[in-house]
Structure 1
Amino acid sequence: MIVSLVGLPGSGKSTIGRQLGRNLGWRFADSDHEIEQQIGCSISTYFELHGEPAFRDVEELAIARLAVRDGLVLATGGGAVLRETNRHALKADGNLVIYLRSQVDDLARRLQHDTQRPLLKGVPPQVRLRELFAQRDPLYREIADFTVDTGRSSVATLAHLIAMQLELARPEQFKGPASG
Protein backbone atom coordinates (compact mmCIF):
# COMPACT_ATOMS: atom_id res chain seq x y z
CA MET A 1 0.00 0.00 0.00
CA ILE A 2 1.01 3.59 -0.57
CA VAL A 3 -0.08 6.94 0.82
CA SER A 4 -0.39 9.53 -1.93
CA LEU A 5 -0.48 13.28 -1.48
CA VAL A 6 -2.52 15.25 -3.99
CA GLY A 7 -3.15 18.98 -4.30
CA LEU A 8 -2.44 22.06 -6.34
CA PRO A 9 1.09 23.19 -7.16
CA GLY A 10 2.68 24.73 -4.09
CA SER A 11 0.45 22.92 -1.59
CA GLY A 12 3.46 21.21 -0.02
CA LYS A 13 3.13 17.67 -1.36
CA SER A 14 6.88 17.07 -1.72
CA THR A 15 7.97 18.83 1.45
CA ILE A 16 5.26 17.34 3.66
CA GLY A 17 5.63 13.97 1.92
CA ARG A 18 9.33 13.75 2.79
CA GLN A 19 8.58 14.49 6.44
CA LEU A 20 5.62 12.10 6.50
CA GLY A 21 7.82 9.34 5.08
CA ARG A 22 10.32 9.92 7.89
CA ASN A 23 7.53 9.94 10.48
CA LEU A 24 6.15 6.64 9.21
CA GLY A 25 9.53 5.04 8.52
CA TRP A 26 8.47 4.64 4.87
CA ARG A 27 10.21 5.47 1.61
CA PHE A 28 9.32 8.70 -0.17
CA ALA A 29 8.97 9.33 -3.89
CA ASP A 30 8.01 12.42 -5.85
CA SER A 31 6.36 11.49 -9.15
CA ASP A 32 7.62 14.66 -10.86
CA HIS A 33 11.19 13.90 -9.80
CA GLU A 34 10.84 10.30 -11.00
CA ILE A 35 9.52 11.55 -14.34
CA GLU A 36 12.39 14.02 -14.76
CA GLN A 37 14.86 11.20 -14.12
CA GLN A 38 13.11 9.12 -16.77
CA ILE A 39 12.82 11.79 -19.48
CA GLY A 40 16.22 13.34 -18.84
CA CYS A 41 15.05 16.94 -18.66
CA SER A 42 12.83 19.22 -16.61
CA ILE A 43 9.07 18.86 -16.84
CA SER A 44 8.95 22.48 -18.01
CA THR A 45 11.27 21.69 -20.93
CA TYR A 46 9.30 18.53 -21.76
CA PHE A 47 6.06 20.57 -21.80
CA GLU A 48 7.64 23.07 -24.21
CA LEU A 49 8.96 20.36 -26.53
CA HIS A 50 6.11 17.86 -26.49
CA GLY A 51 3.04 19.51 -24.92
CA GLU A 52 0.88 18.66 -21.96
CA PRO A 53 -0.83 15.54 -23.43
CA ALA A 54 2.55 13.85 -24.02
CA PHE A 55 3.62 14.74 -20.48
CA ARG A 56 0.38 13.29 -19.08
CA ASP A 57 1.12 10.02 -20.93
CA VAL A 58 4.54 9.79 -19.25
CA GLU A 59 2.99 10.75 -15.91
CA GLU A 60 0.37 8.01 -16.23
CA LEU A 61 3.07 5.37 -16.68
CA ALA A 62 5.03 6.71 -13.71
CA ILE A 63 1.96 6.73 -11.45
CA ALA A 64 1.11 3.16 -12.47
CA ARG A 65 4.64 2.06 -11.59
CA LEU A 66 4.80 3.94 -8.28
CA ALA A 67 1.28 3.13 -7.05
CA VAL A 68 2.08 -0.56 -6.62
CA ARG A 69 5.08 -0.12 -4.33
CA ASP A 70 4.59 -1.05 -0.72
CA GLY A 71 5.39 1.27 2.17
CA LEU A 72 5.71 4.39 0.03
CA VAL A 73 4.65 7.99 0.55
CA LEU A 74 4.07 9.45 -2.92
CA ALA A 75 3.92 13.15 -3.77
CA THR A 76 2.05 13.42 -7.05
CA GLY A 77 2.12 16.20 -9.59
CA GLY A 78 -0.76 18.64 -9.23
CA GLY A 79 -2.43 17.42 -12.42
CA ALA A 80 -2.06 13.69 -11.82
CA VAL A 81 -5.75 13.48 -10.89
CA LEU A 82 -6.83 14.69 -14.33
CA ARG A 83 -6.65 11.18 -15.71
CA GLU A 84 -9.12 8.62 -14.45
CA THR A 85 -6.46 5.92 -14.80
CA ASN A 86 -4.27 7.76 -12.30
CA ARG A 87 -7.15 8.25 -9.87
CA HIS A 88 -7.85 4.51 -9.95
CA ALA A 89 -4.16 3.63 -9.50
CA LEU A 90 -3.81 5.96 -6.53
CA LYS A 91 -6.87 4.40 -4.85
CA ALA A 92 -6.14 0.75 -5.76
CA ASP A 93 -5.52 -2.08 -3.29
CA GLY A 94 -6.18 -0.16 -0.11
CA ASN A 95 -3.94 2.79 -0.98
CA LEU A 96 -4.79 6.00 0.84
CA VAL A 97 -4.97 9.48 -0.64
CA ILE A 98 -4.48 12.71 1.30
CA TYR A 99 -5.62 15.98 -0.28
CA LEU A 100 -3.44 18.90 0.82
CA ARG A 101 -5.90 21.72 0.36
CA SER A 102 -4.55 25.27 0.22
CA GLN A 103 -6.11 28.64 -0.36
CA VAL A 104 -5.35 30.14 -3.77
CA ASP A 105 -3.94 33.31 -2.18
CA ASP A 106 -1.49 31.22 -0.10
CA LEU A 107 -0.43 29.24 -3.17
CA ALA A 108 0.05 32.38 -5.26
CA ARG A 109 2.27 33.86 -2.54
CA ARG A 110 4.35 30.65 -2.30
CA LEU A 111 4.74 30.41 -6.08
CA GLN A 112 5.18 34.06 -7.02
CA HIS A 113 8.85 33.59 -7.93
CA ASP A 114 8.65 29.99 -9.20
CA THR A 115 9.60 29.78 -12.87
CA GLN A 116 9.66 25.99 -13.16
CA ARG A 117 5.93 25.23 -13.30
CA PRO A 118 4.82 25.12 -16.94
CA LEU A 119 1.14 25.72 -16.29
CA LEU A 120 1.91 28.95 -14.44
CA LYS A 121 4.05 30.52 -17.15
CA GLY A 122 2.80 33.61 -18.96
CA VAL A 123 -0.16 34.30 -16.68
CA PRO A 124 -0.48 35.79 -13.20
CA PRO A 125 -0.23 32.83 -10.77
CA GLN A 126 -3.38 33.81 -8.88
CA VAL A 127 -5.47 33.79 -12.05
CA ARG A 128 -4.19 30.41 -13.22
CA LEU A 129 -4.37 28.87 -9.74
CA ARG A 130 -8.05 29.86 -9.47
CA GLU A 131 -8.69 28.07 -12.77
CA LEU A 132 -6.76 25.00 -11.64
CA PHE A 133 -8.58 24.97 -8.30
CA ALA A 134 -12.00 25.09 -10.00
CA GLN A 135 -11.01 22.24 -12.34
CA ARG A 136 -9.12 20.00 -9.91
CA ASP A 137 -10.66 20.49 -6.46
CA PRO A 138 -13.62 18.19 -7.27
CA LEU A 139 -11.19 15.49 -8.46
CA TYR A 140 -8.99 15.80 -5.38
CA ARG A 141 -12.07 15.53 -3.17
CA GLU A 142 -13.35 12.54 -5.16
CA ILE A 143 -10.33 10.39 -4.38
CA ALA A 144 -9.25 11.77 -1.01
CA ASP A 145 -9.55 9.63 2.09
CA PHE A 146 -8.58 12.70 4.13
CA THR A 147 -8.40 16.40 3.38
CA VAL A 148 -5.87 18.48 5.29
CA ASP A 149 -6.01 22.26 5.10
CA THR A 150 -2.38 23.33 4.89
CA GLY A 151 -3.09 26.89 6.07
CA ARG A 152 -0.11 28.32 7.91
CA SER A 153 0.83 25.22 9.88
CA SER A 154 4.43 24.04 9.83
CA VAL A 155 5.54 21.08 7.74
CA ALA A 156 6.31 19.09 10.89
CA THR A 157 2.86 19.80 12.32
CA LEU A 158 1.09 18.82 9.11
CA ALA A 159 3.11 15.61 8.70
CA HIS A 160 2.42 14.67 12.32
CA LEU A 161 -1.30 15.40 11.90
CA ILE A 162 -1.47 13.21 8.78
CA ALA A 163 0.45 10.39 10.50
CA MET A 164 -1.99 10.52 13.42
CA GLN A 165 -4.99 10.40 11.04
CA LEU A 166 -3.49 7.40 9.26
CA GLU A 167 -2.89 5.62 12.54
CA LEU A 168 -6.46 6.24 13.65
CA ALA A 169 -7.84 5.05 10.31
CA ARG A 170 -5.68 1.93 10.07
CA PRO A 171 -3.91 1.19 13.35
CA GLU A 172 -2.73 -2.22 12.13
CA GLN A 173 -0.73 -0.62 9.30
CA PHE A 174 0.51 2.59 10.88
CA LYS A 175 2.28 1.70 14.07
CA GLY A 176 5.75 2.74 15.00
CA PRO A 177 7.49 6.10 14.59
CA ALA A 178 4.23 8.01 14.05
CA SER A 179 2.71 6.79 17.29
CA GLY A 180 5.62 7.45 19.58
Structure 2
Amino acid sequence: MAEKRNIFLIGPMGAGKSTIGRHLAQQLHMQFHDTDQEIEKRTGADIAWVFDVEGEAGFRVREETVIDDLTQEQGIVLATGGGSILSKENRNHLSARGIVVYLETTIDKQFARTQRDKRRPLLQTEEPRGVLESLAAERNPLYDEIADYSVKTDDQSAKAVANQIIDQLGF
Protein backbone atom coordinates (compact mmCIF):
# COMPACT_ATOMS: atom_id res chain seq x y z
CA MET A 1 0.00 0.00 0.00
CA ALA A 2 1.92 2.99 -1.29
CA GLU A 3 -0.36 5.62 0.21
CA LYS A 4 -1.63 4.85 3.70
CA ARG A 5 -5.30 5.76 3.75
CA ASN A 6 -7.08 6.69 6.94
CA ILE A 7 -10.12 4.75 8.10
CA PHE A 8 -12.64 6.68 10.19
CA LEU A 9 -15.35 4.77 12.06
CA ILE A 10 -18.61 6.58 12.71
CA GLY A 11 -21.88 5.43 14.22
CA PRO A 12 -23.92 5.56 17.40
CA MET A 13 -22.65 4.71 20.86
CA GLY A 14 -22.62 0.97 21.36
CA ALA A 15 -22.00 0.20 17.67
CA GLY A 16 -18.52 -1.13 18.49
CA LYS A 17 -16.37 1.62 16.99
CA SER A 18 -13.57 1.38 19.55
CA THR A 19 -13.44 -2.42 19.71
CA ILE A 20 -13.71 -2.90 15.94
CA GLY A 21 -11.23 -0.07 15.38
CA ARG A 22 -8.62 -1.81 17.53
CA HIS A 23 -9.06 -5.04 15.54
CA LEU A 24 -8.84 -3.16 12.23
CA ALA A 25 -5.71 -1.27 13.23
CA GLN A 26 -4.04 -4.42 14.48
CA GLN A 27 -4.82 -6.41 11.34
CA LEU A 28 -3.78 -3.59 9.00
CA HIS A 29 -0.70 -2.61 11.06
CA MET A 30 -2.03 0.92 11.45
CA GLN A 31 -2.14 3.22 14.44
CA PHE A 32 -5.43 3.33 16.36
CA HIS A 33 -6.96 6.43 17.94
CA ASP A 34 -10.23 6.97 19.81
CA THR A 35 -11.49 10.56 20.00
CA ASP A 36 -12.91 10.17 23.51
CA GLN A 37 -9.67 8.67 24.82
CA GLU A 38 -7.70 11.46 23.16
CA ILE A 39 -9.92 14.11 24.78
CA GLU A 40 -9.42 12.43 28.16
CA LYS A 41 -5.67 12.31 27.60
CA ARG A 42 -5.51 15.99 26.65
CA THR A 43 -7.75 17.24 29.47
CA GLY A 44 -6.52 14.85 32.14
CA ALA A 45 -10.15 14.14 33.03
CA ASP A 46 -12.83 11.71 31.95
CA ILE A 47 -15.59 12.55 29.47
CA ALA A 48 -18.27 12.69 32.20
CA TRP A 49 -16.24 15.37 34.02
CA VAL A 50 -15.83 17.41 30.81
CA PHE A 51 -19.62 17.21 30.28
CA ASP A 52 -20.29 18.22 33.90
CA VAL A 53 -17.94 21.19 33.86
CA GLU A 54 -18.13 22.41 30.25
CA GLY A 55 -21.44 20.96 29.11
CA GLU A 56 -21.97 19.20 25.82
CA ALA A 57 -21.04 22.38 23.91
CA GLY A 58 -17.62 22.55 25.57
CA PHE A 59 -17.07 18.87 24.92
CA ARG A 60 -17.95 19.31 21.22
CA VAL A 61 -15.39 22.12 20.87
CA ARG A 62 -12.70 19.82 22.27
CA GLU A 63 -13.89 17.03 19.97
CA GLU A 64 -13.59 19.27 16.89
CA THR A 65 -9.99 20.11 17.77
CA VAL A 66 -9.10 16.44 18.30
CA ILE A 67 -10.75 15.35 15.05
CA ASP A 68 -9.04 18.14 13.10
CA ASP A 69 -5.65 17.14 14.56
CA LEU A 70 -6.00 13.37 14.18
CA THR A 71 -7.51 13.36 10.68
CA GLN A 72 -4.40 15.14 9.42
CA GLU A 73 -2.29 12.10 10.27
CA GLN A 74 -1.72 9.36 7.72
CA GLY A 75 -2.42 5.64 8.05
CA ILE A 76 -4.65 5.70 11.13
CA VAL A 77 -7.85 4.05 12.22
CA LEU A 78 -9.99 6.53 14.16
CA ALA A 79 -13.02 5.66 16.29
CA THR A 80 -15.12 8.79 16.64
CA GLY A 81 -17.68 9.66 19.27
CA GLY A 82 -21.31 9.07 18.32
CA GLY A 83 -22.11 12.78 18.22
CA SER A 84 -18.99 13.90 16.38
CA ILE A 85 -20.93 14.08 13.10
CA LEU A 86 -23.16 16.84 14.50
CA SER A 87 -20.41 19.29 13.56
CA LYS A 88 -20.27 20.22 9.86
CA GLU A 89 -16.56 20.87 10.31
CA ASN A 90 -16.05 17.32 11.63
CA ARG A 91 -18.11 15.85 8.78
CA ASN A 92 -16.00 17.77 6.27
CA HIS A 93 -12.69 16.70 7.85
CA LEU A 94 -13.73 13.06 8.07
CA SER A 95 -15.02 12.79 4.52
CA ALA A 96 -12.12 14.72 2.99
CA ARG A 97 -9.28 13.01 4.84
CA GLY A 98 -10.07 9.31 4.79
CA ILE A 99 -12.48 6.48 4.21
CA VAL A 100 -15.58 6.79 6.38
CA VAL A 101 -17.18 3.56 7.59
CA TYR A 102 -20.59 3.76 9.27
CA LEU A 103 -21.07 1.01 11.85
CA GLU A 104 -24.82 0.48 12.04
CA THR A 105 -26.63 -1.06 14.99
CA THR A 106 -30.20 -1.28 16.25
CA ILE A 107 -31.59 0.59 19.26
CA ASP A 108 -32.06 -2.78 21.02
CA LYS A 109 -28.36 -3.66 20.60
CA GLN A 110 -27.26 -0.18 21.63
CA PHE A 111 -29.40 -0.37 24.74
CA ALA A 112 -28.08 -3.83 25.64
CA ARG A 113 -24.46 -2.75 25.11
CA THR A 114 -24.69 0.55 26.99
CA GLN A 115 -27.25 0.07 29.78
CA ARG A 116 -24.68 -0.51 32.54
CA ASP A 117 -22.06 1.88 31.21
CA LYS A 118 -21.79 4.86 33.57
CA ARG A 119 -19.23 6.56 31.32
CA ARG A 120 -21.87 7.76 28.82
CA PRO A 121 -23.16 11.13 30.08
CA LEU A 122 -26.07 11.38 27.63
CA LEU A 123 -27.52 8.10 28.94
CA GLN A 124 -27.50 9.02 32.63
CA THR A 125 -31.24 9.58 32.62
CA GLU A 126 -34.48 7.84 33.58
CA GLU A 127 -35.21 7.03 29.91
CA PRO A 128 -31.97 5.92 28.20
CA ARG A 129 -33.85 4.04 25.46
CA GLY A 130 -35.78 7.20 24.60
CA VAL A 131 -32.50 9.11 24.42
CA LEU A 132 -31.05 6.49 22.06
CA GLU A 133 -34.13 6.73 19.84
CA SER A 134 -34.01 10.50 19.66
CA LEU A 135 -30.25 10.50 18.99
CA ALA A 136 -30.77 7.98 16.17
CA ALA A 137 -33.46 10.14 14.56
CA GLU A 138 -31.12 13.15 14.59
CA ARG A 139 -27.80 11.46 13.78
CA ASN A 140 -28.50 8.52 11.45
CA PRO A 141 -29.08 10.78 8.40
CA LEU A 142 -25.73 12.50 9.12
CA TYR A 143 -23.92 9.15 9.35
CA ASP A 144 -25.47 8.17 6.01
CA GLU A 145 -24.49 11.52 4.48
CA ILE A 146 -20.73 11.06 4.92
CA ALA A 147 -20.34 7.27 4.91
CA ASP A 148 -18.32 5.69 2.13
CA TYR A 149 -19.29 2.25 3.43
CA SER A 150 -21.83 0.91 5.92
CA VAL A 151 -21.57 -2.29 7.95
CA LYS A 152 -24.16 -3.78 10.28
CA THR A 153 -22.55 -4.82 13.56
CA ASP A 154 -25.42 -6.46 15.44
CA ASP A 155 -24.94 -10.16 14.77
CA GLN A 156 -21.18 -10.34 14.22
CA SER A 157 -18.12 -10.36 16.42
CA ALA A 158 -15.82 -7.33 16.33
CA LYS A 159 -13.21 -9.41 14.52
CA ALA A 160 -15.72 -10.50 11.87
CA VAL A 161 -16.81 -6.89 11.30
CA ALA A 162 -13.16 -5.81 11.00
CA ASN A 163 -12.58 -8.54 8.41
CA GLN A 164 -15.69 -7.48 6.51
CA ILE A 165 -14.43 -3.88 6.42
CA ILE A 166 -11.02 -4.98 5.19
CA ASP A 167 -12.69 -7.01 2.43
CA GLN A 168 -14.98 -4.11 1.43
CA LEU A 169 -12.10 -1.66 1.30
CA GLY A 170 -9.89 -4.03 -0.64
CA PHE A 171 -6.98 -3.69 1.80
- TM-score, length basis structure 1: 0.91
State the partner residue of 2:160: 157
State the partner residue of 1:147: 150
Match of 1:84 among 83, 88, 92: 88
Structure 2 CA distance, aligned partners of 1:145 and 1:123? Answer: 35
> 1:53-89 CA deviation, whole Å, 9 max, x = no partner?
1110010000000001100000000100000000000
Q: Is the 8 A contact 1:2 1:68 kept in 2?
A: no
- Relative to 1, partners in 2 of residues 1:51 and 1:22: Cα closer, same or farther, differing over 3 Å? same
Residues 1:125 and 2:128 aligned together: yes
> 1:130-155 CA deviation, whole Å, 9 max, x = no partner?
01100000000000000101112011
Residues 1:110 and 2:110 aligned together: no
Residues 1:135 and 2:142 aligned together: no
Give the 4+ runs in structure 1 shifted more than 4 A.
none
Structure 2 CA distance, aligned partners of 1:163 and 1:123? Answer: 39
Between the aligned residues of both structures, percent identity stands at 44
Structure 1 CA distance, aligned partners of 2:99 and 2:76? Answer: 11
Match of 2:99 among 84, 96, 101: 96
Q: Report the 3-state secondary structure (helix = DSSP H, G, I; strand = E; otherwise coil) of the residue aligned with 1:51.
A: helix
State the partner residue of 1:31: 35
> 1:29-58 CA deviation, whole Å, 9 max, x = no partner?
001100100011011111011101111001
State the partner residue of 2:62: 58
Structure 2 CA distance, aligned partners of 1:112 and 1:59? Answer: 24
Structure 2 CA distance, aligned partners of 1:29 and 1:112? Answer: 24
List gaps (5 residues or longer) in structure 1. 168-173, 175-180
List gaps (5 residues or longer) in structure 2. none
RMSD of the TM alignment (CA)? 0.8
State the partner residue of 2:9: 5
Q: Is the 8 A contact 1:90 1:97 kept in 2?
A: yes
Q: Is the 8 A contact 1:111 1:125 kept in 2?
A: no
Structure 1 CA distance, aligned partners of 2:90 and 2:126? Answer: 27
Structure 2 CA distance, aligned partners of 1:137 and 1:13? Answer: 15
Structure 1 CA distance, aligned partners of 2:53 and 2:154? Answer: 35
Structure 2 CA distance, aligned partners of 1:160 and 1:111? Answer: 24
Structure 2 CA distance, aligned partners of 1:2 and 1:68? Answer: 9
